[in-house]
């Protein structure tokens, strides 16, 4: 039986979206049977059913609309998600805590001079495309800081993304409200002891590819990839707000803090 939208609820009109997996589709069907579903364009809030990958896709899809996203885990890890339940959804939304995050803007020039841009919620990664180590030069706000980084690549991560690929590459975990970016090498060969840098989130990172024809490099912003790049600029897009909703006691900031203590 479908319940009418509660006019007193914080978010009355809800759109339910899911991945095509059986668990996620079954969860969506159960929620639509219990609550009124509207099209995303008409919704006050988007409920995303899946895993972290689907949450990132949903955030990208509605980037710039201001619509908050409330995720429920029907995937595996579910770091960005809330626990799944069909009960008391209006009540959960009414007391949900909002986390506002900003994406990175990646601007790329490839070997043919073509330019492209994309946004990343987690990180922008530069990755070698061949058996040879990538060679890169790194500048911050127009000043060269590292004349040679040789290795598998490098990444620039937001606080949200600091617990993802960045952490796997031994980068630092950043609190959600820290006005910082993590610049982290990936399997650095030279300089051997360089562990990366913490940068203010107003910084502009420029990475130039050395020997791009001999040592090709791909640039990746979340799920957008461009190969054979020559230079990449990365900066936080403070003008774009993304709103994630979490149950009290399970905010994104709390989850990031827990990661620092290993649970």
Q: What is the pLDDT of residues 143-167, one digit of tens each?
A: 999 999 999 999 999 999 999 999 9
Only one residue has tokens 């790049």, namely 229
Residue scoring higher pLDDT (255 or 237): 237
Contact by Cβ (8 Å): 218, 142: no
Confidence of residue 172 (pLDDT cuts 50, 70, 90): very high
| pLDDT above 90: residue 76 | no
Residues 70-78, mean pLDDT to the nearest whole number: 91
Percent of the chain whose predicted confidence (pLDDT) is above 70 = 96
Band the pLDDT of 4: cuts 50, 70, 90.
Answer: very low
Q: Greater confidence, 250 or 15?
A: 15
Cross-strand bridge partners of residue 49:
18, 72
Give the chain's mean pLDDT.
92
Residue 70 pairs with which residues in a beta bridge? 47, 245
pLDDT digits (tens, 9 = 90+) for 13-30: 999 999 999 999 999 999
Question: DSSP strand E in 19-172: where?
Answer: 45-50, 69-73, 97-101, 104-110, 115-120, 123-128, 134-140, 143-157
State yes or no: pLDDT of 9 exceeds 90. Answer: no
Q: Which pLDDT does position 3 carry in this prediction?
A: 37
Q: Which of 52, 141, 177, 233 is catalytic?
A: 52
- Kindly state the percentage of the chain with pLDDT values over 90: 84
- Closest by CA to 249, choosing from 147, 31, 97, is 97
Whether 50 contacts 19, CB under 8 Å: yes
Q: What is the pLDDT of residues 30-73, one digit of tens each?
A: 999 999 999 999 999 999 999 999 999 999 999 999 999 999 99
Strand ranges inside the chain, DSSP E: 14-18, 45-50, 69-73, 97-101, 104-110, 115-120, 123-128, 134-140, 143-157, 180-190, 197-200, 204-210, 217-221, 224-226, 229-236, 242-246
pTM: 0.89
Q: What is the pLDDT of residue 263?
A: 62
What's the confidence (pLDDT) of residue 91? 94
Tens digit of pLDDT for each residue in 109-144? 998 989 999 999 999 999 999 999 999 999 999 999
Structural tokens at position 140 = 């911050």
Euclidean distance between CA atoms 243 and 35, whole angstroms: 22
Mean pLDDT calculated for residue range 235-254: 91
Nearest to 242 by CA among 121, 159, 161: 121
Cα–Cα dist 72/50, whole Å: 7
Active site residue 52: yes
**Structural domains for the chain:** 14-101+241-260 (3.40.50.10330), 104-236 (2.60.200.30)
């Amino acid at each position: 039986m479908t319940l009418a939208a509660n006019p007193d609820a914080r978010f009355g009109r809800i759109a339910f979206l899911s991945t095509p997996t059986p668990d996620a589709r079954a969860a969506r069907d159960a929620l639509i049977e219990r609550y009124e579903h509207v099209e995303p364009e008409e919704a006050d809030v988007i409920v995303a059913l899946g895993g972290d990958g689907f949450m990132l896709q949903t955030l990208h899809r509605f980037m710039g609309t201001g619509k908050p996203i409330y995720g429920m885990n029907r995937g595996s890890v579910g770091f960005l998600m809330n626990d799944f339940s069909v009960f008391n959804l209006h009540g959960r939304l009414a007391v949900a805590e909002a986390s506002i995050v900003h994406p990175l803007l990646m601007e790329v020039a490839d070997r043919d001079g073509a330019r492209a841009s994309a946004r990343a919620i987690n990180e922008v990664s530069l990755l070698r495309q061949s058996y040879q180590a990538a060679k890169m030069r790194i500048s911050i706000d127009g000043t060269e800081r590292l004349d040679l980084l040789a290795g598998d690549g490098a990444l620039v991560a937001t606080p949200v993304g600091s617990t993802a690929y960045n952490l796997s590459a031994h980068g630092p975990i950043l609190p959600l409200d820290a006005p910082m970016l993590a610049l982290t090498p990936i399997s650095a060969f030279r300089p051997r002891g360089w562990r990366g840098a913490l940068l203010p989130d107003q910084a502009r990172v420029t990475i130039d590819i050395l020997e791009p024809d001999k040592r090709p490099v791909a640039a990746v912003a979340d799920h957008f990839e461009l190969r054979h790049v020559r230079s990449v600029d990365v900066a936080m897009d403070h003008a774009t707000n993304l709103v994630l909703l979490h149950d009290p006691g399970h905010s994104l900031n709390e989850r990031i803090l827990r990661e620092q203590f290993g649970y």
